[in-house]
Amino acid sequence: MHIHQLDPQKHETFLTQARIDPITGDTLVVGDKIVLCAECKSAFHSDSWAYLGNQHCNQTRTLPAIPQSTSLGHFKKRSAEYYSRVNSNFKINETLQNLNLVSAGHRLGAVLIDLTLIGLIYYMVSETLSPLLWTYFLLRDFTYKGRSFSIGKNLMSFEVVEEQSENKLTWWQSVLRNAPIGIPQLASVFSAYAYNFSYSFGNSFRVADNLLSAIFTIILIIDVILIFGNNKRIMDRAMDLKSIFKTRNRRNN
């Protein structure tokens, strides 16, 4: 790749053409570092060339020197108009993708529905179901026959998928994603069982239970803050996941 820095003496003829970078729309001026496509002679800032993947006109060759001919001006208008359309389409697609992302309100609502159901069953049905309830929480993003286990997400019509491929989550991905909240709660349940079973170690288990409850509360608060801050929970950022509405994912599949 050949990069040229525009010089007022060496490139006087080129500068008089007032060439425009097709990507940024900026006029190329003295001191700019530019690249010229060897096929169509269009001129780009070096950053714009990198943005295009270091290629143009389906090839990667660049001119080793800046031409002195004044007949290159017609490339300016054609290239600028073409890339104006390309950039517009890119922005439209980017906007549509952002519109498909689930809002913080929807995500928080789904979590609250799942936690409320767990609480209602725990207090109104049986405390002995706690291990099953928190196992459900760990597996709630696992998709089986096109539907995730999460009642809250199904009611809100969205699901969690991989960021790039938009593949649905496997059971172990679901467990890993929900582990910061689900694992402390499961451990707390078994800690309570151990406390009831072995009174002599009661104080130790009580301390462990309080510690795990504190961890659960802290993680939940952090996740809520992150959801409203950048729409990404702790594990969503770590695992490169996102939440999207189901209608689009069905079209893609």
Delimit the domains of the chain by residue range: 4-99, 101-252
Q: For the chain, what is the mean pLDDT?
A: 79
**What is residue 146's three-state secondary structure?**
coil
How many angstroms separate the CA atoms of 115 and 41, rounded?
61
Give tens-digit pLDDT for 169-226.
Answer: 999 999 999 988 888 778 777 766 666 665 555 566 667 667 777 887 888 788 878 7
Nearest to 195 by CA among 187, 206, 186: 206
User: Pick the residue with more confidence: 48 or 84?
Assistant: 48
Q: What is the pLDDT of residue 248?
A: 47
Tell me the pLDDT band of 253, cut-offs 50, 70 and 90: very low
pLDDT tens per residue across span 120-169? 998 888 778 888 998 999 999 998 887 889 999 999 889 999 987 888 99
pLDDT at 77: 47
Q: What pLDDT is recorded for position 96?
A: 46
Distance CA 80, CA 90 (A): 15
- Residue range 21-41: average pLDDT? 88
Q: What is the pLDDT of residue 140?
A: 93
Please tell me the predicted confidence (pLDDT) of residue 34: 93
Q: Please give the pLDDT value at position 169.
A: 92
